[in-house]
Copies of this chain bind each other. A is one copy, B any other.
Amino acid sequence: MPSESELASEFDVSRATIRTVLASLASEGLILRKQGDGTYLNPLIREVNTHLGGVWEFRRLIESSGYKATIKALTTETRVAQASELSALGLPPGSQALVLRRLFFADLKPVILATNIIPYAMIIQPAGPIDGTLDIREILRRYCNKKIAFAISDVQARLANGEATEILQCEPGLPLLQISITFYDQDNHPLACGQSYYDDTTLRLRLVQSWG
């Protein structure tokens, strides 16, 4: 790649500005920087589908694995939140929540079953019909006017239960990745949570980590 100075003069900005951009690319492992030598593209990066732990961006994850991603909204219902959801979202018992059930396909194969829970009180009223094929970030932005600052996720190995085997069309007893995630805003308030079952036989969860 061109040197920092060359890039700086090419785009007519200071070298410091170029450096901030390159630093963020390097932290994701997209480029490799060698002091005294130069900056190089990482040729292996095409094989990676997850950067910086964004394990829940399923659409991008499927597409960067070379499949066509389609999202099918299974159900959109309002119900009383369960105990685990109440504690994750910091809600009082009996709170209503919007539950989005979605299925992600890689090409035509169902690979991820995702359930997202949003406190009903957080949704801007009047709540029109919610587009279940949207990214969770976009849903929170559009229907709740909230912005995700960070998320905490648990990754576990779980056996497929009855419902998951049926929807994902897999054998009972197949081990699946279970991803439980909670999204927070900048004030540390939980915005939404979710639980996903990930069939890793077709779609590998592959991530890169770099050391500057």
Chain A 188-210, CB-CB to B under 8 Å as 1, else 0, gives 10000000000010001111111
| Chain A contacts with B in 99-131, Cβ cutoff 8 A | none
CB contacts (< 8 Å) of A159 on chain B: these are 175
Tell me whether A11 is interfacial, beta carbon within 8 Å.
Answer: no
CB contacts (< 8 Å) of A42 on chain B: these are 150, 188
A205 and B155 contacting across the interface, CB-CB below 8 Å: yes
B29 and A27 contacting across the interface, CB-CB below 8 Å: no
Tell me whether A149 is interfacial, beta carbon within 8 Å.
Answer: yes
Count copies of this chain in the complex: 2
Closest B residue to A177 by CB, please name it: B157
Tell me whether A95 is interfacial, beta carbon within 8 Å.
Answer: no
| Chain A interface residue number, banded | 35 or more
CB contacts (< 8 Å) of A27 on chain B: these are 24, 27, 52
A157 and B176 contacting across the interface, CB-CB below 8 Å: yes
CB contacts (< 8 Å) of A149 on chain B: these are 32, 210-211
CB contacts (< 8 Å) of A158 on chain B: these are 157, 175
CA distance A156 to B210 in the complex (A): 21
Closest B residue to A153 by CB, please name it: B207
With A53-B208, A200-B156 known as contacts, the answer to whether A150 contacts B29 (CB < 8 A) is yes
CB contacts (< 8 Å) of A29 on chain B: these are 150
CB contacts (< 8 Å) of A13 on chain B: these are none
26 contacts between A and B (CB under 8 A): A20-B23, A24-B27, A29-B150, A32-B150, A32-B186, A34-B186, A42-B188, A43-B188, A44-B152, A47-B152, A52-B52, A55-B207, A55-B209, A150-B208, A150-B210, A150-B211, A151-B209, A151-B210, A153-B209, A154-B204, A154-B205, A154-B206, A157-B158, A157-B178, A157-B200, A177-B177
